[in-house]
Amino acid sequence: MIDESTSTNLNQLSQTETYSEEQNRSLKRKSAGRPKEKIWDYYISSNVNSDRSATCHYCPKYWSYGRPAEMEAHLANICPDVPKTIK
């Protein structure tokens, strides 16, 4: 026999699980789109008005709109302070 308190506890547990599932679904929806390139790990970026500005972690080089190919070339060939392990 299930008493009234057990039934209430099961109902509360069921509501908690449902809420958690809804949260998970909404979080999954927010992660849609193209993933960022790894090069962005080496830059300070800001997403203002859909523009992606970038500043090098190792020098003051700044792009008003960061382009991954140019950013890679900068680290590989131009930046004087980037560690050799990254080049």
Q: What pLDDT does residue 34 have?
A: 79
Nearest to 71 by CA among 41, 39, 49: 39
Query: Domain residues of the chain, as ranges?
Result: 1-32, 38-78
First to last CA, the chain: 69
Q: What is the mean pLDDT of residues 9-30?
A: 56
Q: What pLDDT does residue 79 have?
A: 96
Q: What pLDDT does residue 59 have?
A: 96
Q: What pLDDT does residue 56 have?
A: 96
Q: What pLDDT does residue 6 have?
A: 52
* pLDDT tens by residue, 33-67: 778 889 999 999 877 655 689 999 999 999 998 89
